[in-house]
Amino acid sequence: MGATLPDPKHPWFQASDAPRVLAHRGLVPEGSTDLVENSFAAVAAAHAAGATYVESDCHVTVDGEVVLFHDDDLRRVAGDPRAVADVTFGELSELMAGLGGVLTLTQALESFPTVRFNLDVKAPAAAEPVGRSVAAHSERVLLTSFSDERRHAALRAAADAGAAVRPATSAGIRTITRLLLAHGIRARRAVSRLLSDVDALQVPERHGRVPIVTPRLIETAHRHGVEIHVWTVNDPADMERLLDAGVDGLVTDRADIALPLAARRAA
């Protein structure tokens, strides 16, 4: 097991005890044919299943509406080749009408007031509007991005919009890469500096054949008050194994499976 994690310093973490289940793009129940990921219905399904934490993604439409959507374009989800950035909110609403309904970031925050959102800023143009949108809800938002630049831009926008507390945040690829290198050569000062910028490390268990989540990384993160969340974990045996190793959260498409499993751990 990893070292005991200190009491989380940000309100985002205080909604429940670890281990946390982050419903990846909401929840699409197995066999469902009438809703897709990141839709209003998918987030509602995750909430109904008992999820406190929902992981989602943010793009912005051509008319400036921040929407929960993963891909750059609509091809995979809605069968339309256009980019999200090239359609209006009205056009996207029509496309998503039979797929669970489009969900804006503002609607998500207001319609699900008890949910903690883990938001991945997917597009550079989305960073500032995402930050402004979450400012009034910053105690229940974690902002992340593969790009540390986008992540920091969203955090700055939230602060400029009057956020009472900084949204929680997890590391982008550049920070994670530097951290793993520093950790590998036991550069403790560099590790401490890099971890001081984040509340969580949200990472895959491995990159190709290279392990990322190791007992030593878990212990180091916990010593600095940082949680480890692993994505995307859908197999129950993998969930059990990772929780045995001491990770603090699972990002999963199968929140319906992970939630009762995690509840037994927290009891």
Look at residue 94 and give its three-state secondary structure: helix
Is 224 catalytic? The answer is no
The region, left, alpha or beta by phi > 0 then psi within -120 to 50, assigned to residue 242 is: alpha
Q: Which of 10, 47, 59, 70 is catalytic?
A: 70
Is 152 catalytic? The answer is no
The residues near 179 (Cβ < 8 Å, ≥ 6 apart) are 171, 191, 194, 195, 201
**Are 146 and 58 contacting, i.e. CB atoms less than 8 angstroms apart?**
no
DSSP code, position 116: E
Q: Which of 10, 24, 183, 229 is catalytic?
A: 24
The amino acid sitting at 249 is: G
**3-state SS, one letter per residue, for 182-228:** HHHCCCHHHHHHHHCCCCEEEEECEECCEECCCHHHHHHHHHCCCEE
Q: Which residues are catalytic?
A: 24, 70
